[in-house]
Structure 1
């Protein structure tokens, strides 16, 4: 059976649905691409790919739009290999900046150097001609003749560090109260800024921050950006948390632990002498026996019940018979027969009652209780 011919109306509907489906697919792809491109990218301080407040993605995008070739170096060795004449090496201090012995090769690298908020060890390795200076007279105005700072004007640097020359032989240009300094050494231009706030995404648009960032970082057509976000594979192991804690703090912590231990020993609950206390209610012995009997019966514990009856009988008979606690069954039976005055003359019956097997039924258990009671009564009345 062959299918009928396709009508023009069905063909038009198929083409319409086909183009509608294709349009939906294209819209979905565009939406996914837009979401991926505009999605926030978290990262650390001065991360060139991070869109967070401390990241530097906005500045990197502006530099590339201005034609600056930005090369991101993750390690000190990559930065050393990427730098060359006519380039600018930017070293931003992060928690993963390499150790001084790995940074020292960068001090001899060609091209200019821009240090952002360097720590003491980084500054000693890359800019030993500078020292920390008292933060006196810091302001947002450049107050210097440095072209990059003069064109930027007033900027917001937060709370930057200030620098000064270590001796009179080094001539430095100081701006913003010493927060930005520049000098020449070894045929290269070295610029040091005591704050990274003006470079980050959150403050780039404040006052003249963007202008100063572009003037400093875009001074050369090629920029090597070294702001490591991961531990450098060649770095030596960092200090542990205990190494970073001052010695005085460690002593305070140990003393606090000692004080807590002594207080715990002082307040701890101690075992004292036994204290007799009156029972909250008086329970008659008959109720206790009846309750225990019900427990034995509910569990069908005829063996334990028989043992309890026999043990109690022997404990009451032993003082009357003058026997010790370790007396053997033959001696006990013979003594009972002698003390009963001829009332108990069957040793096998006594053996069965006092030391026999476990009763097989509840009736047998009741008969055993009666037999034991009779033996005890005969001995007591003899």
Structure 2
């Protein structure tokens, strides 16, 4: 007499109910995130919005200065509002067909584009977008009148490169201005200086008022979904909503977890005692003696600097690939010391002897202690 060992329906359900419940939860969560994230933020950079991401504060300053602001949401309305002597301010220019945007720019006196990342050749043929950069407080670094008068400002975002004459780059290449026959075309890499929550910081207000308030009329163009003519040129992956992409990633992660959970187990891990235990301090001392014996003080000092920089960046809120200038500026601001002194400690000249290396180690320890306070 034989006994069946095949699982019955109840056994299958008992084993599969929790994985199925988890998958259902992921699908429901993905759908909710998709519906929630698919709704556009109607207050974003709207001159009538008092929300943190709105721009009512800047619009009020411009109106007090005598600038007439006309808010439009379609390309046709923008075309009708422009008179050849007005300023055209385009929020989210990526939503507009480049050819149509070039036509609108030709009917304006001055043009200001906010965070254009691609297809800028129609409006600014002498400028090329280089990719995203760090948003932070930067100095002008140029002779542009508006930037010099505003001083430091919280800018960044998209960086630009000049490919022709008559181009001025400011704020670590995150602001570009081109002189044209009718006026100027300005590309601003980040929306930070336009928002209500950031306008009062540094010279943000002064910078944007000088860029947008040069003429008596300002056409504030916030594109609507009907203006997304460029969507026909996008790939299928670009047309998929971000929420659905996130849901697919979640499903893949869940599948991997289930596979690991249900996979065949080969038993517990067997541990084997080491024949000898070497303390970490002994390893460090042995490595130091090797450096000393080979006379590699410069290599040892650079190892100390790299380790110190790696520990300082998380304390300063900087990414691991932060540039030297950003690290030096952040440390100087935190400790109150001169940037030249900080740069000499973190990125100074190679060390040639042991005494200098010992002093360098003490200086690095002191710097980390000051930043950590």
Query: Structure 2 length normalisation: TM-score?
Result: 0.50
Query: Structure 1 length normalisation: TM-score?
Result: 0.49
